[in-house]
Chain A
Amino acid sequence: MGLLNPQNVIYGLSLALLVLIYLRSRSRPTIEVSSLMLFDEAPAPAASVRHVRIDPLFWLEMLTLAALTFAIAGLYVMRPPSPGHGRSHALVFDLGAGMSAREGAGTRIDQARQQAVEVIDQAPPGDEFSVIAYALEAQMRHPQTANLADLRKALGDLVPMAVPARTAALRAALIRARGASEIDLFADRPPAPAILADAGSTARVNFHPVGSGDSNLAIVSLDPGIPGSTRARAEIRNFSARPLPAELAIDLGNSEQFHQTMMLAPREQVVVGFGPLPAGGLLRARILTPDAIDADNTRYAYAPSEVAAQVLVLSPDAAVRDDIARVLLAVNANFQIETADPAKYVAPSGPNAKPLELAVMHDCYLPAVKAESTLLIYPPRAAKNGIGISVDGTLVSADIRGDATGESTALNSLALGATRIVAIPEWMDLLATATATGHSSIPIAAVGRAADGPVGVLAYDVRDHLLLAPDHLDALVLTVDLIKQLTAPHDILIVPTGADVSVPATGTARVIQPDASVRSVAADKWGRVRIRPLQAGRYTVESGGVTTQVLANYYDAAESDVGAKPQAEPSAPVRKAAAASNAQSAKEVQPLVFILIALALIALTVESAMLIGHTGRWGMGHV
């Protein structure tokens, strides 16, 4: 017998209150009378009922309150399952990238599926199963059912994703499985004891480990360098405890740039340099050596064009113009940068005017400036009329809180200077927010595609060499990321797996996934479709005759380390808890809520009947 939430027993104070009311009502009031002669024949109280009188109404109310209190607290009993009433199982599967690791003839998910089938087959008839999967988040793949055919189909539909299995997702999956009497967890690494404790489940958790191999190679990063200028490089890591050969091939477009087989020492990470690349374009690195996980064997990067691109930097502050120009050259040395004071700038016109690749406007906005991409830094109020970004005011200081997409953990807390309060339109994606006095969250970085092309916004001021200050590196990183996004080719998006990607589209877009499957996605009112690549590789989005390539890269050091077995041995208290859990597993939780509420209702009914009886006896209309 137990209470699901002992804190709710605080409602038991109502019992104490009732007793107090009872005692108060039963206390003997002292009345002054003219003479005790009148009371000579009145009966004296019997000694046996001096303190507690048997008052049926009191005891009925006591019973009602006690039943309701325990019902709220979730009183339950553990009892063996009754004959004919099956137990409930929750089959929880890890669908992280590690589960796609090859093990013998199949993969780890195949092993997990096989083990799950054995669990189902060994279960007595009548038992019910649910299927829950987790990676980035928990998902109920199939609710409780005793239909084994449906169950096997649900198991067959489980496909690992090229994303790491998040701890929060496992915790959520266990919480979803809390109602089951038994939880079977299929994963390639045991859960941390704290996660089991957090789930608060009384059910027995059976961990079914899958996978034993550790031979995995992964491309950690791919840097294209600057075509014709600096060398490109790729990082490769051996997660195995033994040396492994790695055959690395790197292609630029359709031409191979690098192909080499190397031997990596146990758990070694090497940097392979090559190039400089002869031209810009899509760069693809591949590990051709067969290993456990395929998703981390391919990586894409985009090499900026070696062709000079025109960039205009406008700022009323000369120092800011100089700082931004330095940053732009660091991003792409092929940029031809023109800086000007917006008060004196006259946009060139006529056939000799060179098209601008990017226009960076700091603390100014000139609608006459036309460029393929626009970056507004510390935009003035006038920006609303041109682009639709409204500026509602200026803050003296703000504090970067973190990046909105959750991809970067570098942005922790950084004090910024003057910052505009910018209202980001819905067609833009928020990249970072900040806090300030009187404002819990203000956007400071966003990017989106307007009618004239991509537009980026940085709300903070970059005066006083903010971008070059060593202690404001996060502001620089945010600026560089935004410039890279704005200058990237519009038909190629290179994103990490699991990220939300918005692609311009008209009407319904056709999305071809890496496994060649095709699905249709409707565009929203801003003319874009959102996809979330969960497999590494190339996604092709076709809409209105325009094709956009979304290239999803996967790498996660923890997930790709298929041989790691963190926290394999639970701590002593956890083992003890697990043992207790196992001892209870033969029984199942039987909540008594309904019984207690029924008891309370019966007691109330009896009390009402007694009161009606009293009413009749006393000749009163009501009590």
Chain B
Amino acid sequence: MLEARAFEPEYLRKLDRLVLGIQRARTVRSGQRTLGRIQGLGIEPENFKEYAPGDDLRFLDWNAFARLDELMLRTYRADRQVEITALVDASASMGLPERDDKLGLALAIGASLAYIGMADNDAVRIGAFAMHRGAMKLEATPFHRRRESYLNFKPFVTSVRAGGETRLGAAVDELLLQRRPAGTVVVISDFLVNEGDVEDALKRLVAARHDVKVVHVMGEQESTAAYPSGLYRVRDAETGEVRETVLGPAGVAALRRSVEKIAARIREICMAHAITYAQAFGAVNLESFMERELPLLGIVR
């Protein structure tokens, strides 16, 4: 239900002045062609370098050669539009606890970021992934560039339902197989999966020269362990595994410790790979999240 708020005019007005800070300019070695990549041709000089055999002679600075009698290549800053993909985890774990509406929060954040990303006419899309019956199901919208077409996201966003298992690695594989140019990928998930899988998936995104941002979503009840005291039989929504546990003061403290530990570990992974990390704990805090955490994602006014 929370995802519907991302399409409310009043809410969108708050996002109008925000811009997504992304690594729009990338340093590329002039004359070096990179297979499978689109070379941007900028006009803003960045640096000079000595000529090496095989360099593209079109970037040779003939004036410098005339003055210095040395072959120098001029490098330029590539100025281009990037593709932004908001990748939302739609596994079963995102549907629980129900009252937290974690998936709704994730979709709302994803849609909000898409809206902000459209400010510079960047190509934006929203995708959702989950593993269903052993097969990765990655669904995504087409790219949209202008905010006028923002509402085209709404049918997709409101139709996403939680279900299946979280396989972030498989989702990244699916994404990379699309062979899109390097852009910005915002991964929005609760990351309640094996941390090795998370790290591997994020590493591969970075390796593919994507600018990766991570939004760690958790529910209010889940993150504060706000369960009534008592003896419980808990069942994992994704694996079906059942365990008995006692939720008293000690149990609640243990739960909170687990949440903090998971969040700390994800943050560590992100720091290790120069990935932007932001937390969105608690579905009710959508506005506060957008105000407090967006700067961490590079959102500027």
Binding site for B on A (CB under 8 A): 26, 28-45
B258 and A34 form a contact (CB under 8 A): no
Q: Nearest Cβ distance between residue A378 and chain B, in whole angstroms?
A: 81
B255 and A38 form a contact (CB under 8 A): yes
A37 and B192 form a contact (CB under 8 A): yes
Q: For A31, list chain B residues within 8 Å (CB).
A: 227, 232-235
Given A36-B236, A41-B255: 17 more A-B contacts, CB < 8 Å: A28-B233, A30-B233, A30-B242, A31-B227, A31-B235, A34-B236, A35-B192, A35-B193, A35-B236, A37-B258, A38-B259, A38-B262, A39-B234, A40-B258, A42-B246, A42-B254, A44-B245
A36 and B241 form a contact (CB under 8 A): yes
Q: Does B142 contact A (CB under 8 A)?
A: no
Ordered by A's residue number, 28 sampled pairs between the chains whose C-beta atoms are within 8 Å are A28-B230, A29-B230, A29-B232, A30-B233, A30-B234, A30-B242, A31-B232, A33-B97, A33-B234, A34-B96, A34-B102, A34-B192, A34-B219, A35-B193, A35-B237, A36-B234, A38-B192, A38-B262, A39-B243, A40-B258, A41-B254, A41-B255, A42-B245, A42-B246, A42-B254, A43-B251, A44-B245, A45-B231
| Residue among B192, B232, B248 making CB contact with A30, cutoff 8 Å | B232
Q: Does B250 contact A (CB under 8 A)?
A: yes
- In the bound assembly, the distance between CA atoms of A32 and B163 in angstroms comes to 13
Nearest A-chain residue to B244, judged by Cβ: A45
Contact A33 to B254, CB < 8 A, known contacts A42-B245, A44-B244, A45-B245: no
- In the bound assembly, the distance between CA atoms of A31 and B219 in angstroms comes to 15
- In the bound assembly, the distance between CA atoms of A273 and B197 in angstroms comes to 130
Q: DSSP class of B's interface residues: helix, strand, loop or mixed?
A: mixed
- In the bound assembly, the distance between CA atoms of A34 and B234 in angstroms comes to 10
B243 and A35 form a contact (CB under 8 A): no
Give the residues from 66 to 101 in chain B that come closer than 8 angstroms, CB to CB, to chain A: 92-97
| Residue among A26, A32, A34, A39 making CB contact with B245, cutoff 8 Å | A39
Q: For B257, list chain A residues within 8 Å (CB).
A: 41
B234 and A45 form a contact (CB under 8 A): no
Q: For B222, list chain A residues within 8 Å (CB).
A: 33-34, 38
Q: For A45, list chain B residues within 8 Å (CB).
A: 231, 244-246
Contact A44 to B254, CB < 8 A, known contacts A34-B222, A38-B192: no
Contact A41 to B258, CB < 8 A, known contacts A34-B192, A35-B236: yes
A28 and B96 form a contact (CB under 8 A): no
Q: Does B247 contact A (CB under 8 A)?
A: yes
- In the bound assembly, the distance between CA atoms of A44 and B230 in angstroms comes to 11
Q: Nearest Cβ distance between residue A429 and chain B, in whole angstroms?
A: 76
A39 and B258 form a contact (CB under 8 A): yes
Q: For A44, list chain B residues within 8 Å (CB).
A: 243-246
Nearest B-chain residue to A37, judged by Cβ: B192
Q: Does B190 contact A (CB under 8 A)?
A: yes
- In the bound assembly, the distance between CA atoms of A37 and B236 in angstroms comes to 9
Contact A43 to B236, CB < 8 A, known contacts A33-B96, A34-B192, A38-B259: no
Q: For B231, list chain A residues within 8 Å (CB).
A: 26, 28, 45
Q: For A39, list chain B residues within 8 Å (CB).
A: 234, 243, 245, 254-255, 258
B258 and A43 form a contact (CB under 8 A): no
Contact A34 to B251, CB < 8 A, known contacts A40-B258, A41-B257, A44-B243: no
Q: For B244, list chain A residues within 8 Å (CB).
A: 28, 44-45
A32 and B235 form a contact (CB under 8 A): yes
Nearest A-chain residue to B95, judged by Cβ: A34
- In the bound assembly, the distance between CA atoms of A26 and B230 in angstroms comes to 8
- In the bound assembly, the distance between CA atoms of A39 and B235 in angstroms comes to 10
- In the bound assembly, the distance between CA atoms of A32 and B236 in angstroms comes to 6
| Residue among B93, B94, B230, B255 making CB contact with A42, cutoff 8 Å | B255
Q: Does B34 contact A (CB under 8 A)?
A: no
Q: Across chains A and B, which 5 residue pairs bring their CB atoms closest together, nearest first? A: A35-B192, A34-B93, A41-B254, A30-B233, A34-B96
- In the bound assembly, the distance between CA atoms of A43 and B229 in angstroms comes to 12
Q: For A35, list chain B residues within 8 Å (CB).
A: 93, 190, 192-193, 236-238
Q: Does B178 contact A (CB under 8 A)?
A: no
A30 and B235 form a contact (CB under 8 A): yes
Nearest A-chain residue to B259, judged by Cβ: A38
Q: Does B159 contact A (CB under 8 A)?
A: no
A43 and B250 form a contact (CB under 8 A): yes
Q: For A30, list chain B residues within 8 Å (CB).
A: 232-235, 242
Q: For B230, list chain A residues within 8 Å (CB).
A: 28-29
Nearest A-chain residue to B237, judged by Cβ: A32
B262 and A34 form a contact (CB under 8 A): no
- In the bound assembly, the distance between CA atoms of A26 and B228 in angstroms comes to 12
Q: For B239, list chain A residues within 8 Å (CB).
A: 36
Contact A34 to B235, CB < 8 A, known contacts A42-B246, A43-B246, A45-B246: no
Nearest A-chain residue to B223, judged by Cβ: A38
Nearest B-chain residue to A53, judged by Cβ: B231
- In the bound assembly, the distance between CA atoms of A73 and B262 in angstroms comes to 61
- In the bound assembly, the distance between CA atoms of A386 and B257 in angstroms comes to 103
- In the bound assembly, the distance between CA atoms of A43 and B244 in angstroms comes to 9
Interface centre among B102, B190, B232, B242 (most CB of A within 10 A): B232
Nearest A-chain residue to B192, judged by Cβ: A35
Q: For A43, list chain B residues within 8 Å (CB).
A: 245-246, 248, 250-251, 254
Interface centre among A26, A38, A43, A44 (most CB of B within 10 A): A38
Q: Nearest Cβ distance between residue A129 and chain B, in whole angstroms?
A: 63
Q: Nearest Cβ distance between residue B209 and chain A, in whole angstroms?
A: 31
- In the bound assembly, the distance between CA atoms of A38 and B193 in angstroms comes to 11
Q: For A32, list chain B residues within 8 Å (CB).
A: 96, 234-235, 237
Q: For B190, list chain A residues within 8 Å (CB).
A: 34-35
- In the bound assembly, the distance between CA atoms of A36 and B96 in angstroms comes to 12
B243 and A34 form a contact (CB under 8 A): no
Q: For B248, list chain A residues within 8 Å (CB).
A: 43
Interface centre among A29, A31, A32, A34 (most CB of B within 10 A): A34
Q: For B250, list chain A residues within 8 Å (CB).
A: 43
Q: For A41, list chain B residues within 8 Å (CB).
A: 254-255, 257-258
- In the bound assembly, the distance between CA atoms of A42 and B248 in angstroms comes to 9
Q: Nearest Cβ distance between residue B105 and chain A, in whole angstroms?
A: 13
Q: For B192, list chain A residues within 8 Å (CB).
A: 34-35, 37-38
- In the bound assembly, the distance between CA atoms of A32 and B93 in angstroms comes to 10
Q: For A40, list chain B residues within 8 Å (CB).
A: 258
- In the bound assembly, the distance between CA atoms of A30 and B219 in angstroms comes to 19
Q: For A33, list chain B residues within 8 Å (CB).
A: 96-97, 222, 234-237
Mark interface residues in B190-206 (1 if CB within 8 Å of A CB, else 0): 10110000000000000
Mark interface residues in B149-160 (1 if CB within 8 Å of A CB, else 0): 000000000000
- In the bound assembly, the distance between CA atoms of A29 and B228 in angstroms comes to 11
Nearest A-chain residue to B162, judged by Cβ: A34
Q: Nearest Cβ distance between residue B115 and chain A, in whole angstroms?
A: 27
Q: For A29, list chain B residues within 8 Å (CB).
A: 230, 232-233
Give the residues from 238 to 290 in chain B that come closer than 8 angstroms, CB to CB, to chain A: 238-239, 241-248, 250-251, 254-255, 257-259, 262
Contact A38 to B235, CB < 8 A, known contacts A33-B97, A43-B250, A45-B244: no
